Amino acid sequence: MVNALGKALRNLRMDRGWLLKDMADGVAVSSSFLSAIETGKKAVPDDLIDRIVDWGRLSREEERALERAFAQSVQEVRIRLPNSLSADDREAAAVLARSFGSLPSEDLAAIRAIIDRRKA
């Protein structure tokens, strides 16, 4: 079953005129693996979107579109915490992850706005 990310990746490839093999080679995965991601048969590696953005020199708008599609396509997200984080920071990340599903939409929007401001 094709998901939002699969559609977005395929559309991006078609719009840019990239062959599946070219994109796969560019982001260091096999063609069959990338095809399975596009068709929703394989899970997406945590860093795949970043690799695509870097390799394809995507605009911020294209990057955001892939991030949105990724978010719509996954049910679980792994968070890598730098070793330099304090115990309090690690606890904050864990608390956020555990309570994420119960946060009101306005709180989630506020968190997203903070993150978006830091990326800009």
pLDDT digits (tens, 9 = 90+) for 45-79: 878 999 999 999 999 999 989 999 998 888 777 78
- Residue 90 confidence (pLDDT) above 80: yes
pLDDT tens for 8-27 read 999 999 999 999 999 999 99
Task: Give the pLDDT of residue 5.
Answer: 92
pLDDT at 119 > cutoff 80: no
Task: Tell me which of 3.40.50.720, 3.40.50.620, 1.10.260.40, 2.40.110.10 is the CATH number of domain 4-73.
Answer: 1.10.260.40
Residue 38 · residue 49 · CB < 8 Å: no
Q: What is the 3-state secondary structure (H, E, C) of the chain?
A: CCCHHHHHHHHHHHHHCCCHHHHHHHCCCCHHHHHHHHCCCCCCCCCHHHHHHHHHCCCHHHHHHHHHHHHHHCCCCCCCCCCCCCHHHHHHHHHHHHHHHHCCHHHHHHHHHHHHHHHC
Q: What is the pLDDT of residue 54?
A: 96
Name 48's Cβ contacts closer than 8 Å, sequence gap at least 6. Answer: 27, 29, 37
Q: Report pLDDT for 97.
A: 87
Closest C-alpha among 60, 36, 120 to residue 112: 120
Instruction: Enumerate the CATH 1.10.260.40 domain ranges in the chain, comma separated.
Output: 4-73
Which range among 30-39, 69-78, 90-99 has the greatest average pLDDT? 30-39
